[in-house]
A = this chain, B = another copy of it.
Amino acid sequence: MQYSNMTKEELETLLLQLEADYRAFKAKELTLNMARGKPSVDQLDLSMGMMDILSSESDLTCEDGTDCRNYGVLDGLPEAKQLLGDMMEVPADNIIIYGNSSLNVMYDTVSRSMTHGVLGSTPWCKLDKVKFLCPVPGYDRHFAITQYFGIEMITVPMTKDGPDMDMVEKLVSEDDSVKGIWCVPKYSNPQGYSYSDETVRRFAHLKPKAKDFRIYWDNAYTIHHLYDDDQDYLLEILDECRKAGNPDMVYKFASTSKISFPGSGIAAIAASHNNLDDIRRQLGIQTIGHDKVNQLRHVRFFKNIEGMNEHMRRHADILRPKFEKVLEILENELGGLGIGEWTKPKGGYFISFDSLPGCAKAIVARAKKAGVIMTGAGATYPYGIDPEDSNIRIAPSYPSISDLETATKLFALCVKIESANKILSEK
């Protein structure tokens, strides 16, 4: 029975029971965490072979004869560019390999635009106003970068097909202070939505008023499927932009953080040759080169994209039951009650939950009091402010299945209590 159809008395009786259940949870003194998209220990173990792949007997010379142990090679090793090019579905020569984190690459990209502009444009720090579009709900660390640089963030609602493109097209074409948009186009963070072909094509055909407008295409989950036989496909944006006559309009980011080791992987940017040349002018000042030994370690471990895809199947085997367990519990506990909706992704790292308006903060706070840490309510919105106070990001990857079961049941219970409270208060 939907909570909204219950009488005041029914709700009060229900609440008594729910609060008793909650006290029982609290008594367990749980310390569980569903906050961040961290791989589990089992997943990390999958890549331990990488520790043996180079030894003191290894020849650390790469394909073109470079000794990977010494200075140099700004762009990355040819074989690493090939591997990450295949992963990112672009030619190797549209790639620059960076250090250990794509977040850092995105930060540096915004930072460079602030101080030096984009392909010769006015540095953004010299402008009165710079704006970014932020599809919501979205990734808190994206929003943190733009906030840090004083860039005004304009929210654009997400749909199952991607951002509201009518709104994106209008904002981008009318306002030359709009310089960028944050996108997680595949298995989006937090909803797990993948942009439709039409959305990608509309992105590629944008007619930005600002010449230095760029799409920040964070393809973090490009090969991070949960199912072998039921995967999302995403049109390749560099190619679509090229075909649309907008070859320079996009930066594409990715890393192996959730493939090998978070923090000890390799990251890359993919872009047009014009953009890459612009980037190299800065990169050659910033560094003599990134960690080539780690690039070599990755290439020799994965061998090629087939090896990487096979490796991702093993990740999926660990992640899939966790997602399914969370979804099963949400359905069992909350299905048909009319107090929440959630996404059912086929990949990525998150499930997005929408509570009744005004309940998210209270739900997360209540879960925390019983020892279950969720991503802070509001984190999926710029400035941490969810105007509806309803979106909550669930990260099923890190806990064990049994911990996840406990945590999700507790979470569902908190949803019930706060929803009942809300509905009661409105009766």
Contacts from A to B (Cβ < 8 Å): 36, 38-39, 41, 44, 47-52, 54-56, 58, 60, 67-73, 99-101, 103-104, 107-108, 111, 114-116, 123, 125-126, 141, 144-145, 148-149, 257, 261-264, 282, 285-294
Sampled A-B contacts (23; CB under 8 Å): A41-B67, A44-B67, A49-B56, A51-B54, A51-B56, A52-B56, A68-B263, A68-B264, A99-B100, A99-B291, A100-B291, A103-B287, A104-B286, A114-B125, A115-B149, A123-B125, A125-B126, A145-B285, A145-B286, A262-B288, A263-B289, A263-B292, A264-B291
* Nearest opposing residue in chain B for A146, CB measure: B285
Residues from chain B with a CB closer than 8 A to the CB of A39 are 70
B54, A263: Cβ atoms under 8 Å? no
**Assuming A51-B55, A115-B149, is B262 touching A71 (CB within 8 A)?**
yes
Residues from chain B with a CB closer than 8 A to the CB of A125 are 114-115, 123, 125-126
A263, B104: Cβ atoms under 8 Å? no
* Nearest opposing residue in chain B for A56, CB measure: B48
Residues from chain B with a CB closer than 8 A to the CB of A264 are 68-69, 291-294
Residues from chain B with a CB closer than 8 A to the CB of A47 are 69
A286 to chain B, nearest CB (A): 4
Residues from chain B with a CB closer than 8 A to the CB of A51 are 54-56, 58, 60
Residues from chain B with a CB closer than 8 A to the CB of A289 are 101, 263
Taking a contact as CB atoms closer than 8 A, the residue among B41, B69, B72, B145 that contacts A44 in the complex is B69
B70, A148: Cβ atoms under 8 Å? no
B263, A72: Cβ atoms under 8 Å? yes
Taking a contact as CB atoms closer than 8 A, the residue among B107, B257, B261 that contacts A293 in the complex is B261
Residues from chain B with a CB closer than 8 A to the CB of A257 are 71
A395 to chain B, nearest CB (A): 12
Q: Which of A56, A285, A287 has the most CB of B within 10 A?
A: A285
* Nearest opposing residue in chain B for A398, CB measure: B70
A247 to chain B, nearest CB (A): 26
Q: Which of A49, A263, A290 has the most CB of B within 10 A?
A: A263
Q: Once bound together, how far apart are the Cα atoms of A37 and B100, in whole Å?
A: 25
A288, B115: Cβ atoms under 8 Å? no
B288, A263: Cβ atoms under 8 Å? yes
